[in-house]
Amino acid sequence: MTAGNPLSIVMLAPQHDRSAFDCGQDDLNRYLQQVASQHQKKQVSRTWVAVRPSEPERIVGFYTTTLAEISAEYFNPKDLKKLPKTSLPVARLSRLAVGQQYQGQHIGQRLLIDAIVRTARLLEDFAVVGMVVDAKDEAVSRYYQHFGFVPWQDDALKLYMPAQALLDVYAAVIGE
């Protein structure tokens, strides 16, 4: 996507053509095409889609978020110093995908930063200690680590970004 062909990231709505989306992974395609809208209606999750203003019905990429709790044992000790040692509230980035024809254009990065910014804004009204994500493989884990996510203590494919890091990304994006 070039500056002359910008993207908007908006909440999934009925006008978006979910059936045409293909990221190359059947489970992610199936989720967007068959489940995402139902989960949104039932307040299970929110799905955000990247679209071009020139073709607002065509989904270029998407991500899905939800809230969850995870055990404190998964966090690194330095991130737990002032937190209770019980279940902790987190935002979960449960899915992120880019259509095959748009891959390699930094759209995944834009979607990820949008998810981080929305989560940081959430911190104004709700408490979460960070954002968690499950990587499909080691390459995806490295991708998330590049953006500041930290692997869990016992599983390098599960990662988190502490709340302060979310706020730091937010400040960098909005220019504070």
Q: What is the pTM of this model?
A: 0.91
For 120-172, the pLDDT digits (tens) are 999 999 999 999 999 999 999 999 999 999 998 788 899 999 999 999 999 99
Separation between Cα atoms, residue 176 and residue 132, nearest integer Å: 25
pLDDT band at residue 7 under the 50/70/90 scheme: very high
CATH 3.40.630.30 describes domain 8-174: yes
For 78-117, the pLDDT digits (tens) are 777 777 778 889 999 999 999 999 999 999 999 999 999 9
Q: In this structure, which amino acid lies at residue 131?
A: M
The residue with greater pLDDT, 175 or 51, is 51
pLDDT of residue 176: 58
Per the structure block, which two tokens stand in for 62? 């998407």
pLDDT of residue 5: 60
Which 3-state string (H, E, C) describes 101-112?
HHCCCCHHHHHH
Q: Contact, 63 vs 96, CB < 8 A? A: yes
pLDDT of residue 73: 78
The residue with greater pLDDT, 69 or 73, is 69
pLDDT of residue 2: 46
The residue with greater pLDDT, 4 or 151, is 151
For 33-69, the pLDDT digits (tens) are 999 999 999 999 999 999 999 999 999 999 999 999 9
Element (H, E) at 144: helix 138-146
pLDDT of residue 154: 81
For 12-39, the pLDDT digits (tens) are 999 999 999 999 999 999 999 999 999 9
pLDDT band at residue 1 under the 50/70/90 scheme: very low
- Give whole-number Cα distances, 35 to 41, 64, 89, 111, 164, in Å: 10, 11, 24, 20, 32
